[in-house]
């Protein structure tokens, strides 16, 4: 893994693993992101190495407040004394125990004695030698109502960081990736079956699988320490090196990392789990969906954006009729759930919140833009062949998906400029103010420029006039849509609260669009920002 450490972070001594694992000592002490104001100059901004020692609560209610512990601070102290992780942690089968000065928790009294004897004993010993030492009294450790602040932030092995590890390990994926054989009780590696660590190692330890946090500390930090011991470039081995936002910002970023290699398809028909041919009448199924897998890899920083459980096809868990493995979430729901980031529609909805898109989409009737008939046809394409449902694992399926994607034509042009009115005068409500000269052409061209490089918009804006529907939201896509007054009367309709009066409609549409797009104008809510006072 030589080369990983060139990330703008100082080289770490090989003593951090055991001290870092102290982050879970005291009966699985919680690595918390609790509130905090650490007690020193640098701590005023918070620290990522804050650990709250409160594990004794597993034996019953705590008799005293939990103890705040600064892990990296103790790591540095060990380094200055030429001590390593074994100063605080026992070694079991070549691995350091995650507990402080013990392997198991036999009783509440025994655990308390370990901390009182070892921690306080060390502090007293240092003070007797006229060296800086920690607290030695109850109230100095067990701080009541301590206002603590942690800057701890999870670190993600994104495509950039993953590629740096791949390069450093010379594509030896087995260095990190493995699976467990329940018969032999051994780890093994199969090329092409690599998956994210979180697919097996969950938040908490389960049966024979340790938690993701422990797995990361045992594997990643141990590797970093081994490299550092050989005087090679290595990644961090302290809490702050991985979990401090300021240190994370210093990590070297690979601008365009190569594609991950796992025999994944470039294009594929979205699987339904139904095998072969045309097993159901066409009237009971939507047309197949060609999926540009390669393009979506580029849009996301991790495979887990879509493959949240494992790297199998969605239909493995989310079947057409629902399955226990997929928590009874049917395939159609999994693909169309508005508020799920792993869903196709949910992910696309997130893109609509971007400033260039939000001006229009914030005013479109909820659910209309991505579930309209036209939107359905964008994904579910009509296939003029005798058998539109080939076996989903076949070469024919992949070839058909590639052909369909090539046939899909994005709409990148808007209405010709000479067909866009340069100015539209809004004068139906003139009373105290002059009519408003709306810079119509400027607005249209601004909206078009904002999405001209957005391929998602190019595929779903199925006509050059689609952008017109951002303002003319209930009108057909045409160069001459009806005026707003055709639907909105001078006052709101009592029987249709979703149709405001004309004045409210104008104000809601214009001001909301400016706000969502982050435009500077109107700079205030004063009427004269848009309207000249009538003389």
Give CA separation, 344 vs 260, 299, 339, 379, 456, in Å: 21, 13, 10, 10, 12
Give CA separation, 411 vs 377, 452, 525, in Å: 14, 9, 36
Q: Is 290 helix (H, G, I), strand (E, B) or coil?
A: strand
> Considering Cα of 499, then 500, then 501, then 507, what sign does the dihedral take?
negative
Which pLDDT value is given to residue 37?
A: 36
CA distance 36 to 46: 7
Which pLDDT value is given to residue 147?
A: 76
Which pLDDT value is given to residue 366?
A: 56
Each of the 535 residues of the chain gets a pLDDT tens digit; together they read: 333 333 333 333 333 333 333 333 322 333 333 333 344 444 456 889 998 888 888 899 999 999 999 999 998 998 888 888 888 988 887 777 878 898 888 899 999 999 999 999 999 999 999 988 889 999 999 988 877 788 999 998 999 999 999 999 999 999 999 999 989 989 999 998 899 999 999 988 888 788 998 898 888 988 998 898 898 888 998 899 999 999 999 999 998 999 998 889 999 888 776 654 444 444 446 778 899 999 999 999 889 889 998 998 888 899 888 888 889 999 999 999 988 888 999 999 999 989 999 988 887 765 455 556 777 888 888 776 666 666 666 788 888 899 999 988 888 888 999 999 999 998 877 778 888 889 999 999 999 999 989 999 999 988 899 889 888 888 888 888 988 888 888 888 777 777 889 888 888 888 889 989 988 776 566 788 888 888 7
Peptide bond between residue 522 and the one before it cis (omega within 30 degrees of 0): yes
92, with CB counted inside 10 A (0-12, 13-18, 19+), is exposed
76, with CB counted inside 10 A (0-12, 13-18, 19+), is middle
Phi, psi of 368 (to 5 degrees): -80, -40
Which pLDDT value is given to residue 1?
A: 35
Domains of the chain by range and CATH? 1-157+175-252 (3.90.10.10), 267-407 (3.90.10.10), 417-529 (3.90.10.10)
> 180 with 187: CB under 8 angstroms?
yes
> 210 with 281: CB under 8 angstroms?
no
> 333 with 318: CB under 8 angstroms?
yes
Q: How many helices (H) and strands (E) does the chain have?
A: 20, 10
> Considering Cα of 453, then 458, then 463, then 465, what sign does the dihedral take?
negative
């Amino acid at each position: 893994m030589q080369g990983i450490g060139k990330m703008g972070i100082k080289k770490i001594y090989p003593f951090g693993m055991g001290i870092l694992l102290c982050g879970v000592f005291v009966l699985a002490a919680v690595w918390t992101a609790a509130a905090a104001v650490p007690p020193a100059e640098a701590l005023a901004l918070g620290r990522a190495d804050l650990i709250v020692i409160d594990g004794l609560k597993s034996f019953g209610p705590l008799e005293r407040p939990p103890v705040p512990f600064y892990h990296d601070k103790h790591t540095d102290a060990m380094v200055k004394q030429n001590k390593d992780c074994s100063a605080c942690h026992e070694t079991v089968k070549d691995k350091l125990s995650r507990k402080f000065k013990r392997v198991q928790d036999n009783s509440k009294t025994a655990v308390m004695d370990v901390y009182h004897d070892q921690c306080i004993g060390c502090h007293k010993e240092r003070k007797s030698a006229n060296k800086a030492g920690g607290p030695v009294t109850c109230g100095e450790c067990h701080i009541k109502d301590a206002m603590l602040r942690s800057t701890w932030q999870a670190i993600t092995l994104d495509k950039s960081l993953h590629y740096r590890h791949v390069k450093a390990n010379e594509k030896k994926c087995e260095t990190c990736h493995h699976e467990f054989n329940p018969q032999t009780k051994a780890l093994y590696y199969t090329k092409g079956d690599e998956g994210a660590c979180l697919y097996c190692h969950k938040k908490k330890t389960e049966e024979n699988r340790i938690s993701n946090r422990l797995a990361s500390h045992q594997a990643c930090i141990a590797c970093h320490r081994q490299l550092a011991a050989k005087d090679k470039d290595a990644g961090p081995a302290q809490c702050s090196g991985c979990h401090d936002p300021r240190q994370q910002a210093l990590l070297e970023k690979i601008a365009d990392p190569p594609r991950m290699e796992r025999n994944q398809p470039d294009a594929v028909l979205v699987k339904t789990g139904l095998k072969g041919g045309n097993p159901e009448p066409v009237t009971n199924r939507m047309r197949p969906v060609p999926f540009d897998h390669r393009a979506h890899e580029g849009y996301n920083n991790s495979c887990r954006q879509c493959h949240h459980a494992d790297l199998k096809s969605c239909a493995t868990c989310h079947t057409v009729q629902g399955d226990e493995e997929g928590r009874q979430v049917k395939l159609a729901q999994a693909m169309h759930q508005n508020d799920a980031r792993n869903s196709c529609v949910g992910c696309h909805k997130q893109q609509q919140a971007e400033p260039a898109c939000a001006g229009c989409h914030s005013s479109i009737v909820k659910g209309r833009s991505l579930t309209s008939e036209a939107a359905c046809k964008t994904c579910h394409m009509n296939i003029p062949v005798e058998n539109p449902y080939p076996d989903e694992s076949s070469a024919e399926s992949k070839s058909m998906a590639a052909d369909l994607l090539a046939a899909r034509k994005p709409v990148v042009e808007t209405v010709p400029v000479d067909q866009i009115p340069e100015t539209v005068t809004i004068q139906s409500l003139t009373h105290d103010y002059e009519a408003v000269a709306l810079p119509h052409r400027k607005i249209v061209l601004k909206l078009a420029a904002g999405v001209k490089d957005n391929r998602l918009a190019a595929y779903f804006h199925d006509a050059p006039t689609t952008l017109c529907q951002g303002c003319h939201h209930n009108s057909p896509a045409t160069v001459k849509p009806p005026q707003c007054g055709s639907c909105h009367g001078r006052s709101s309709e009592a029987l249709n609260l979703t149709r405001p009066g004309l004045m409210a409609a104008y104000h809601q549409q214009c001001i909301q669009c400016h706000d969502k797009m982050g435009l500077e104008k109107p700079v205030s809510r004063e009427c004269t920002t848009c309207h000249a006072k009538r003389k």
